[in-house]
Structure 1
C-alpha cells in the first residue's frame, strides 16, 4: 500500500488513462476516500481495485485528478519534482530548434508531467505560474526544485491567472520569490531581433513565447513590405518584420501600455516608419476593410482566444471568419496574411475552413504556403490532445 488516499473509477473509465491521458474527470469517479481533499496526492484505481496512476486531487473541480505518474512505487516529493524539472530543462537546453533565442518555456504543464505548472526563462530570469490546486499544494518544493536545477538570476511569480479560480484558488500576489528582483523590462533575443518583456504586467508571463516560430516566419517574408499587425500586444511581430526589412509597421492593440512597449521593441530593430494606434482591432478591421483604405504587404491577425466552452465553437468560427475576411481585403496582390487561433477547441480542420470561407468572402484567391503550431518549447503530448491550442496559417493573396 502506498499510503495515499484512493479514488476508485467507474467501470472502463480508466481507458484514456491507460493510453496516457493525464486527467480524471468528475464523471469517471465512483468512490473517493474522505482524505482525498483539494491539493492532496491520491492513487487512482479501476473498479476492480487495480492501481492505474497517481496524481493531485481537486474533488470540487471538473478535473478531479491530474496525473503525475503511473509508477506505483513513485513518491511525490522534492526529489520527484526535481527530476521532472531537470528532464524538462534538459529537453529545451539540448534542442537545436531552440538555440536561436535566450527566452523560452522550460516547463509546460501536462506535456512535461507537471500539470498546472508553467516556468518561462527570459535570459536567465525565471517566471513561474501555478494554475492548479495540486501544484499550489506542492508550491514550496517546486520553488526549491526550480532554484536547484536552474540557478536563475531571479525567480518571479505570476500566479494571477483565471484558471486558478476554476480550481477554487485565489490569485497570489505577483512578485519576486528568490534571487534578484528583475528589471522593469527584461531584454532578450530571438535570432537577431532585440526584444523586451514586462514580466510584472505583461500577458501570460510577460510575452507570447509560443508565437516565436511565427515571428521568425514573418521576418523572413517582410523585406520590402508594409506590415499591419493586429492584436499587436508588445510588438513582437512588427519587431521581427522591421529587422527583416519591412518598409513600415502599424500596430493595433486596445492596450496603450502594451503599445508603448511595442514601439520600444519595434524601433530597436530598424528605422523604418513605425506607428501604433490604440484601438479595438475587431472594429478597426471592420472600418478599414469597408473603405478604400491602404493595402499592406502582410497583415498579422493574432486575436485572443474566442472559445471558452464547446458550445461557443460555432459562433467563434463566425467571428474568426469575419476577422480574417476583413484582413484579407487589406492584403495587396502577392502579399500575405499570417493568421492564428489560440482557441483549444478550434481544430486544424476548423481553421482551414475559416481561412477558406474568409477568402471566399473577401473575393480573393489564396494559397496556404505554411501551417504552424506551438514552438518547440511548448510541446504537445499526442495522448493529451487538449494540449493543442495554437494553430496558424501563412496565406498568400493573388488578386489577378
Structure 2
C-alpha cells in the first residue's frame, strides 16, 4: 500500500490561496476516481476538487473556513501500489478521527412559526429530528412551509443530504394523518438551545463584499413607481403565441432590454470605478449581472453583451445562468465581469428596498413585486399593475439628477413597451 497526496491545485488567474469551504469525505471513507472530495472558494466561485484515484482517506489537510496556499497538502489517500509520496515526506495529519472536521451548517435563519390562516389538520408521516436540528431547505421552501403551517423538522427530505423540497411538503400534507397533536405541542415547547454558525465559504465572501461596498462607495437610493400593466399584457400575449416554441418570458428580459436602451442616453451608469486609481471606465458592452439566490448565498451570474440579445435570447441565458448558480456549477467567468446589476426578489420583492452596489459598478437596479392597485387614469379610477424600482448608485460617480432621469427613462420604456423595440 502507498499514499497518494492531493495538493491544493493552481486554479489560475494568479490566485495564491483559496478558502477550504466544505469536505465531502472524512477520514476512513473509501473514495473512487472523480468523486468530489472538497469544495474550495476563490474570490469568484466555488470549485470542486475531485479525486484522481481510488483509495481510503487517511488524513485531511485543513478545516472548513481555513485559507490554504496553492500547493499545500489538501488530502492524503491510501492506495494500492506505491502511491506518489515517499514515507519521509508524509505530512502530519491535521484532521483525523480524533479531530473531526466540523460539519457544514446551513446558514439560513428560519422564521419563527406562526399560526396560518387555516392550519392543516392532515399531515403526513413525521421525521424524528432533535428539537435543535435544522433541516436543510432553500429559503423558498422555508417560506412555503411557513405559509402552510408546517414545521420543517417534521418533514422527511428527499433531496441531496436529506434536503426538504417543495414536493416533500406536498407529500407531507397529502399522505394524511389525523393526529396533529405532536406538531402543535412542539410549536409551543419551551426552547433554550443556541446555535453558532461559522461564517465561511460563500457566506464569508458575501459578507466581505457587502461590507467593502458599503464602506467604500457613497450609496444613495432612488425609488420610482412604474405602471407595468401594458408590458405584462405584452408578455402574456407573447407567451401565449410563442411560449411553446421559444420558451416562456418572465419580466426580467424586458427589464434587461429597458436597461440596454436607457443606457444609450446614460452611459455613465454602465461603468466601473477604480477608486484607487481614480479612474472611471465607461463600457459600450452591457454585461448585466443578475443577482441570484442559491443555497450557499447570493451569486451574480452575468448576461454578457445584453445589447446584442433578443428577448428570448436574454430569457434563455438568464435561465441557464440562474440554474448554474443555484446548482453550484457556474464558472468564474460566468460570475464576473458585469457592468451593471439587476436584482429582484420576485414575489418577495416588497415595496421598497435599498440594494447594495456590486463594486466596482456604479449602479444597481432593484425590482420590487407587482401589485394591483386603484390608480387615477385620465380622471377615472382604474385597476393597474404597479411595481417599484428601488435602485442604488455610487454618488462619487453618479449625480442624483442623472440617477432619477435614468430610472424615469426605464419607466417610460416599460410603460410604453413598443419603444423598447423602436430604433
TM over 0.5: no
Q: TM-score, normalised by structure 1?
A: 0.27
Q: Which has the larger radius of gyration?
A: 2
Tell which has more relative contact order, 1 or 2 (C-alpha 8 A, sep 6+): 2
Greater strand proportion: 1
Q: TM-score, normalised by structure 2?
A: 0.26
